[in-house]
Structure formats: structure tokens, C-alpha cells
Amino acid sequence: MEIILDTANLEDIRRYNDIYDITGITSNPTILAKEKAEFFPLLLEIRSIIGEKQLHVQVTGSTCEEMLKEAEALTDRLGKDTYIKVPANEEGIKTMKVLKSRGNRVTATAIYMPQQAMLAASVGADYVAPYFNRMNNMNVDSKKAIGDMAWLFEHNQIQTKIVAASFKNTQQVMDALMAGAQAVTASPELYTQMVENPMIDSAIAGFAADWEATYGDKRIYEL
């Protein structure tokens, strides 16, 4: 199971990279634009924080030729191991096919349907990124769609992994994993929400009160 951060915020990346054993960082043009920073310096700073962990960066061109040029610039500046995120439309699949023949790493993105995932996988994409919340917004059963992708890959011995994305709540994240996604990429806030809530606080406060009533302010290592 892989836990990925869907952010380009340096402070968050430092903090959450310290707490969790993240597999890497995913970004898209919207996420990068939010940081209002120079494109390559920001990505290089992210690279220096996460070391050799995965960095997924999306191309923005609409033709195969443009996307290939962008991919080349990305791998030149950020390293050959950079995962090139390519939208899974026809031009994108063509781009993925060339990138894979050149030994690049590829994440197929903007996935709303298992058929896109299947075609991206057929040209060797390393990951496919189904958009859980956006599918829900279209009245698509995201859990079933991810389950179908997982079934297709498993029964055809396809190595492509599913990195589910686009989450608005923690239930969606868990649903994606339960449906068969090997990886999830979510905002830092969602990971915090998974382990921070008033019930957890109350349990911890209860134990602290019972401890203090018996041992005062001494810690275990002082007894």
C-alpha cells in the first residue's frame, strides 16, 4: 500500500514527509499554480526534500509532440526517474507509448473510466490515476470503477498500479483502497483527519488523567 501526498506546498511536504512513510508526491498544474512559485525551482526544492522518492509531474501540452518535449525538459531538470503524468486521452496514450519505449516512468491521469485505465495500461503506464471524487460528482460509482480496474489488471497480469486520486473525504480514500487501489494520493489535511478527531483526543485525555492521578507528572522513564 502506498501513501502519496497530493501537494506542492513545501511546508506540508517537509512536515508530512517527517511523519509518514510517503511513497512520493503528485502534482498537477492546479496544485503547482497554488504555490505561486517558479516552476522548476519549486520542483527542485521538492526533490531535495523527498530525495529519491517518487515525484509525479504533469505535462500541459495538447499534442504528443509538445508533451514529449515537456517530458524531456522534466526528466532533464528533475531526473530520469520523474513520473510523467499524462492525461489519458488519445493523444496522451500515444505520448505514454513513446515515453515507455524511451524508458520513462508514466502516470496516466484524468481517469474517469476503467476503459481509459485499460488503454493506458496496455501501453505500459506505471500508474493510472482514477479521480474518485470527480467520478462521484458525475454519478459514477467510483468504488466499482476502481474495483473493475483492479480486476482487469489482476486477471491480465498487468503490472500497472492504481493510484487513486481526487479525494474530498477520508471515506473515499478508504473506499479506493478497499476497492483494490495499490496507492492513494491525497491532500495533507485528509491524512491528518484520518488520525485526529475529538474521540481520539478524548481517549488520549482519559489515559493521561488516569496516569496523572496515580503517578503525578512523572514519565515512565522517571519511575
| C-alpha span between 220 and 117 (Å, rounded) | 52
- Say whether residue 129 binds ligand E4P (CB under 6 A): yes
Q: Does 111 sit near ligand E4P (CB under 6 A)? A: no
Shortest CB 56 distance to ligand E4P, Å: 7
Comparison of 23 and 185: residue with beta carbon closer to ligand E4P: 185
Choosing from 109, 116, 136, 160, the residue that interacts with ligand E4P (CB under 6 A) is 109
Least distance (Å) between residue 119 CB and ligand E4P: 18
Residue in 133, 170, 182, 193 binding ligand E4P, rule: CB under 6 A = 133
| C-beta closer to ligand E4P: residue 89 or 211 | 89
Q: Among 5, 6, 181, 183, which residue interacts with ligand E4P (rule: CB under 6 A)?
A: 6
> Which residues lie below 8 Å from residue 198, measured CB to CB, with a gap of 6+?
none
24-37 per-residue burial string, b: 16 or more CB within 10 A, e: under 16: bbbbbeebbeeeee
Give, as ranges, the residues between 135 and 174 that touch ligand E4P (CB under 6 A): 165-166
For residue 62, give every residue at least 6 positions away whose Cβ sits within 8 Å of its Cβ, in sequence order, or none: 91
Cell numbers of 109, please?
491521469
Query: Which one from 36, 53, 69, 85 is the annotated catalytic residue?
Result: 85
Distance, CA of 166 to CA of 201 (rounded, Å): 28
CB of 166 to ligand E4P, least distance (A): 3
| CA-angle at 110, arms to 104 and 116, nearest 5° | 80
Q: Bridge-partner residues for 85, per DSSP?
A: 58, 107
For ligand E4P, the closer of residues 29 and 79 by Cβ is 29
Concerning whether 85 is annotated as a catalytic residue, the answer is yes
The angle, 0 to 180 degrees and rounded to 10, between the axes of the packed helices 39-50 and 10-19 is 10
Minimum CB distance to ligand E4P, residue 95 (Å): 16
- Give the span between the Cα atoms of 22 and 118, in whole angstroms: 26
- Which secondary-structure segment (H or E) carries 58? strand 54-58
Q: How far is the CB of 147 from ligand E4P (least distance, A)?
A: 19
Q: Which residues have a catalytic role annotated?
A: 85
**Residues at the contact surface with ligand E4P, assessed by CB under 6 A:** 6, 26, 28, 109, 129, 131, 133-134, 165-166, 185
